Structure 1
Amino acid sequence: MSGTLFCLTEEKSNEVRQMPKDAHGLDHVDRKLLELLTQNAEQSYADLGLAVGLSAPAVHERVKRYKASGRITAVTAQLDPAMTGKRFLAFFHVNTIGWGKSDALMCIATLPEVEEIHSVTGDTCMILKVRMESTQAMEALLARLYALPEVVSTKSYVALSTYLERPVQAGVSASISEG
């Protein structure tokens, strides 16, 4: 072996170190980025990168992946209900004959007063979140519901105050019982 040089070199890798992902394919940086975007979707990629320890191009790539995968379904403006004349918030429990998701009943999704439609278990078939100008508008919407042959009855709950209203959150909380 004399005269032969053995050189040990450190192998360089172009692979990016992968962070552990949860059951939904998200790592802690993904969750933090999604949280920041729900707070303000107009932040620059540079600002987001500073907040999570990534470069602006890396954040941009992640956001593109979120959109392509359907994790981010839309970027929208949240309107102030009072500034649009829709201060009146209510929830309708709607009982129907048979399955509540008929074509005729689902047509109410086109009404601008209807913000959410949920099929639920329990003592009602569907819950609607509706926002209107007045009690007269509520009465008119109820009349439209009762004009549908599937609708048997409704219960209405008018919101007096709203303490929390926000979009889906990306964070994961520990169970209350673990606290």
Structure 2
Amino acid sequence: MAKKTNAVQPISSGPVALDATDRKLLSLLAEDSSRSYVELGNLLNLSPPAVHERVKRLKRDRVIVATQAKLDGCKVGRTLLTFVLVTTNGVASTKRLLALSSLPEVEEIHTVAGDSAVMLKVRPRDTEGLEELLARIESIEGVEATRSYIALSTFLERGPSPEL
């Protein structure tokens, strides 16, 4: 039996061969993932079973990694969209930051090139919540500094486009 691990892994492992129909299907699903296979088939000139097979393949190949509702942070009480850059003193310290993935206010964790090692996208409930989160980050062994950027307005927020 394979050992199950709870370790956080990078999301992507490289490109997958996609044809024009796959890309159009992905665009339609990214726009509205609640569309039925019948509706998608009509838009793509495919049968619903053919669409279903493509979706199954795209999920198996991890092109589609999840189907989820996109929530309005402000309407669910998470009003403070913030990007936090974290400087660490080494790879081990950077890996310790992955423990933050279990916190509900942490939406994304990225290792980055440049002056910082990690960039977090967080959405705490308010400034006090941000202050508590920053204190938690700064208490992690090997964290040297944090720099926060609070978003005032969001005009565009989306995932990658499958179109070339």
Would the TM-score normalized by the shorter structure come out above 0.5? yes
Deviation of the 1:79 alpha carbon: 1.1
Aligned length: 149
Of 75, 83, 101 in structure 1, the residue corresponding to residue 94 of structure 2 is 101
C-alpha separation between the residues in 2 aligned to 1:105 and 1:45? 40
CA shift, 1:167, in A, is 2.2
Q: How far is the alpha carbon of 1:156 from its aligned partner?
A: 0.6
Which of 27, 41, 62 aligns to 1:35? It is 27
* Post-superposition offset of 1:140: 0.5
Of residues 139, 142, 152, the one that matches 2:144 is 152
1:128-147: CA deviation from partner (whole Å, max 9, x where unpaired): 00001111111000010111
* Counterpart Cα distance in 1 of 2:101 and 2:16: 29
Once the two structures are superposed, the pairs formed by residues 95-174 of structure 1 within 5 Å of their partners are: 95-99=87-91, 100-102=93-95, 104-172=96-164
Q: Is 1:85 aligned with 2:77? A: yes
What amino acid is aligned across from residue 94 of structure 2 in structure 1? K
SS in structure 2 at match of 1:132: coil
The letter for the 2-side match of 1:136 is E
Instruction: Give 5+ residue unaligned stretches, structure 2.
Output: 1-14
Q: State whether structure 2 residue 54 is matched by structure 1 residue 49.
A: no
Matched position secondary structure for 1:33 = helix
Percentage of matched positions with identical amino acids: 46
Q: Give the Cα separation in 2 of the matches to 1:32 and 1:69.
A: 17
Q: Secondary structure at the match of 1:116?
A: strand
1:105–1:150: 8 Å Cα contact kept in structure 2? no
Q: Deviations over 1:54-75 (max 9, x none)?
A: 1111111111111112111111
Q: Residue type matched to 1:62 in 2?
A: R
- CA RMSD between the two structures: 1.2
Give the structure with higher Rg (CA): 1
User: Normalising by the residue count of structure 2, what TM-score does the alignment of the two structures yield?
Assistant: 0.86
